[in-house]
Amino acid sequence: SHILTVSGLKAAIGDTPILRGIDLVVPPGEIHAVMGPNGSGKSTLSYVLAGRADYEVTGGSATYGEADLLEMEPEARAAAGIFLAFQAPVELPGVNNANFLRTALNAQRRARGQDEIDAVAFLKLAREAGKRLSMPDDMLKRAVNVGFSGGEKKRNEVLQMALLKPSLAILDETDSGLDVDALRIVAEGVRALRAPDFSALVITHHQRLLEILVPDRVHVMSKGRIIRSGDAQLAREIEREGYSALIQEAA
């Protein structure tokens, strides 16, 4: 079965409908990109799938494997192997980054009935994973995201993801603040996770990121709906021609 199946999903903030019927299927092992102009509902889709309380689901369904995703508590979603990275990662002053990452990993291991990993073994794991992302060792010693540059925050997210090995990652990429090198490291970091038991929904405006990632499918959102889906070629078409032609065509 599919890892993520979204059918006719509608959601509102207060009285304002934002998602107006989203249909989306992500099979195991596939990376899908979600693109679309500002305000089309991309972040809302990721928040609803994450279970954020301020969004009301007003119709449709979302399943994760066989489970009703919308009925799961946010913590249960994480424990079940869903990883969510938001546009603005939280800063946690006073919380050591290595301890934070180890706590997240151990919560997942406990939920799966596995032994916890000790600080020494964890540091070894984290340093190796960090090296692959060109992260300086001191980022593990610093407070979570405090004073990190945009690129460092994204790298830290990819590090967390590499350690947690989620079944489904939903990444709402920030559209600014990533220089070309940081973008490449993030894209290569996600690409390196490609595996039959890893799926991802990557929300992005960056054609450059998609050139490295090479998504299996690209979905374009406008006004709370997916107006077009295609392969990686669709992202190139958007880069060339913009969204307006697609939106007019769909109307």
Closest separation between CB of residue 211 and ligand ADP, Å? 21
The residue among 18 and 158 lying less far from ligand ADP, judged by its C-beta, is: 18
Question: If DSSP codes are grouped into helix, strand and coil, which group holds residue 14?
Answer: coil
Q: Does 102 bind ligand ADP (CB under 6 A)?
A: no
Q: With contacts defined by CB under 5 A, name the span among 13-21, 42-50, 57-65, 220-228 that binds Mg ion.
A: 42-50
What is the rounded distance in angstroms from the CA atom of residue 18 to the CA atom of residue 56?
A: 10
Residues from 23 through 62 that contact ligand ADP (CB under 6 A): 36, 38-44
Q: Whole-angstrom distance between the N-terminal and C-terminal Cα of the chain?
A: 33
Closest separation between CB of residue 124 and Mg ion, Å? 36
Q: Does 43 bind Mg ion (CB under 5 A)?
A: yes
Residue 18 binding: pick among ligand ADP, Mg ion, none (C-beta 5-8 Å cut-off by kind):
ligand ADP
What is the rounded distance in angstroms from the CA atom of residue 60 to the CA atom of residue 6?
A: 8
Helices (H), 38-179: 42-50, 74-79, 97-111, 119-132, 138-141, 150-164
Q: Does 177 bind ligand ADP (CB under 6 A)?
A: no
The residue among 42 and 228 lying less far from Mg ion, judged by its C-beta, is: 42
Exposure string for 97-134, b = 16+ CB within 10 A, e = fewer: bbebbbeebbebeeeeeeeebeeeebbebbeebbeebe
Q: Does 40 bind Mg ion (CB under 5 A)?
A: no
Residues found near ligand ADP in the complex (CB under 6 A): 13, 16, 18, 36, 38-44
Residues found near Mg ion in the complex (CB under 5 A): 38, 42-43
